[in-house]
Structure 1
Amino acid sequence: MEFLDGLSAVQIAIALVATLASAFVRGLTGFGMAILLVPILALALSPVEAVLVGNGLSLLIGAIELPRLVRGAERSAWTIGAVCLLATPFGLLALAATGADLARLIIALIALSAFLAILLPRRSAVQPGALATGGVGLISGLMTGYAGMPGPPVVPYYVGRDLPRETTKTSMMLIFTIAGGAGLISGVLTGVMALELLLLSLLLFPAVIAGNRLGERASGTVSDPVWRTLVGMVLGAAAIAALLKLL
């Protein structure tokens, strides 16, 4: 495959290790795969390619978990997912029109924004109104297309509320699955999706399955306060790492 021939063995190895680690974080916290993985992939691929590979992996892992996600997710996840689906193409068009260096900077800043948002005071479990919920979906869709990261507005929406951990995790995972599909569809519609990117996603997918299962096992061994602390640590580490790579 000519596309993969353009990647060195070291780059592929780094992508596999990054995929395994980011999938572990997904299984542990319910999010984080795209936030951690896309900035690393963007160092070896173009930003558009990195985003589309991240979307492909999110869709693949979410698809095999779909029955559990549908049962456990809050109803708001469907609203956010639907709005995200509509907004994603506009984010991808903006990414395609942005220079690679600027896109990498914006992707790093998006990771930083997620960390800052999680520091806001914790709220009650009451679902926010339609305007706030729709706004989360809109921003999530734009970020899905532009950075392959639907999480920054979604994580504070759920983790910042006093919800059961399983509801929080399944709601976020369902949205990220929808966002992954939206990203791929947008890539096809805008003409930037390539078969080689799907093949690379399939190559990395076994590492996603392995990392995700390990993360889920670890998640069952930690208390809820520890889990919420880990969520903040993951977001902070992702933001710092993305910014350091730019420097």
Structure 2
Amino acid sequence: MIDLLAAYAPWQLAAALAAAFGSAFVRGLTGFGMAILLVPILALALAPVESVLLANFLSFFIGMSEIRRLVRGAEPTAWRISALVVLLTPLGLFGLAATSEDLARFLIAMIALSAFAAVLLPRRSAAEPGHAATGAVGILSGLMTGYAGMPGPPVVPYYVGRDIPRETAKASMMLIFTIASLTGLVSGAALGILAWRLPVLAVMLFPAVLLGNWLGNHASGRVGDGLWRAVVGVILGGAALAALLRLL
């Protein structure tokens, strides 16, 4: 294990550990935000492709630890969106592999910024959107899963923007993100860009993810909806701003 991690400097490992814990806390608190926060921060220390695939490992691990609850609580729309994510993720990942690192970091920061803007939109009714809207969310989420490891920007406003129970929204989003992360890993392996040191690093970081997620879940029940949305918006905006400042 030590030999596989020798490619990383100590500061890179420390940054990855801190990012894993913080993003997992946000996931537990809100039901989303892990990849949106984790990938831009990891991309400051690691190559963009490694950042995306590492985030996929961690998202898959934590999702599988809760899979029964997610399947029980998710909306049927989560399965339709997930099917499109599976189909479109390889195309997004292929685009990432063909993009320069600087451009990839910039686009990932823009995606994080779009998620911040989406959280600020006013809520809509609880009615399920039409097939066209659901299909568009699935297509965009699949492309973003492959390119940036972030299925969230289209999915978050689809669920959080509707007046549905918070737990239903959280379970639906988490189920999509779990399936999306597995799809990203399978696509990365098929394209030959999945380095063996990444699952080793993910296993090393996973205890921090478990702890952060547990603390976030514990805090979730004590936070009202207004504060919940405000905290998420501030965190997402901060992550995007930090990534942009790094590029400048």
TM-score tier by shorter-chain length is over 0.9
| Contact 1:16/1:204 (8 A) holds in 2 | yes
Specify the code of the residue in structure 2 equivalent to 1:26.
Answer: R
Residue 11 of structure 2 is aligned to residue 10 of structure 1 = yes
| Contact 1:29/1:230 (8 A) holds in 2 | no
* 1:101 corresponds to: 102
* 2:152 corresponds to: 151
Q: TM-score, length-normalised on structure 2?
A: 0.96
Q: Which runs of 4+ in 1 moved over 3 A?
A: none
* 1:64 corresponds to: 65
- Distance in 2 (CA, whole Å) between partners of 1:214 and 1:119 is 25
Specify the code of the residue in structure 2 equivalent to 1:40.
Answer: I
Report the count of equivalent residues.
Answer: 247
| Contact 1:7/1:44 (8 A) holds in 2 | no
CA RMSD of aligned residues (A): 1.1
Gaps of at least 5 residues in structure 2 are none
* 1:55 corresponds to: 56
Q: TM-score, length-normalised on structure 1?
A: 0.97
Q: What's the % identity of the aligned pairs?
A: 65
Between 1:134-143 and 1:9-18, the stretch displaced more is 9-18
* 1:79 corresponds to: 80
How far residue 241 of structure 1 moved from its aligned partner, in angstroms, is 2.0
Residue 245 of structure 2 is aligned to residue 244 of structure 1 = yes
- Distance in 2 (CA, whole Å) between partners of 1:175 and 1:230 is 22
How far residue 69 of structure 1 moved from its aligned partner, in angstroms, is 0.3
- Distance in 2 (CA, whole Å) between partners of 1:11 and 1:195 is 17
* 1:202 corresponds to: 203
* 1:185 corresponds to: 186
- Distance in 1 (CA, whole Å) between partners of 2:46 and 2:236 is 23
- Distance in 2 (CA, whole Å) between partners of 1:50 and 1:16 is 13
Gaps of at least 5 residues in structure 1 are none
* 1:32 corresponds to: 33
Between 1:60-69 and 1:216-225, the stretch displaced more is 216-225
- Distance in 1 (CA, whole Å) between partners of 2:120 and 2:44 is 28
